[in-house]
Amino acid sequence: YDWPPYSANVILEKYSLKKPFSLYPNTKGYEEMEKYVRIIYNGKVLSLPWFINPQDPTLCPWSNFLAFIGDLIPHQYEDECKV
């Protein structure tokens, strides 16, 4: 394991993109927003295997992101965050 360099940074960008759809020919509308996360490490946009987004491999679907970090989020705050 290598330590990150001094003053390393991680930026998480959250995107909400409208999904286009059409009920009738020659009309345009938009469905619900699809949510994505982009991860930038030291100025470099990352593309990780669990992103699974063929349109843009640098955008991770929100549901995949939550599934990946789910075990890192405390659920029993009082017990897990005691001092």
The tens digit of pLDDT for each residue in 26-39 reads: 656 556 678 899 99
The pLDDT assigned to 6 comes to 93
The tens digit of pLDDT for each residue in 26-78 reads: 656 556 678 899 999 999 999 888 788 777 889 998 888 888 888 888 778 78
SS3 66: helix
Q: Which residues contact 83 (CB under 8 A, 6 or more apart)?
A: none
Rounded CA gap, 63 and 7, in Å?
Answer: 30
Name the residue with higher pLDDT: 74 or 10: 10
- Band (pLDDT 50/70/90 cuts) for residue 20 is low
Its pTM stands at 0.67
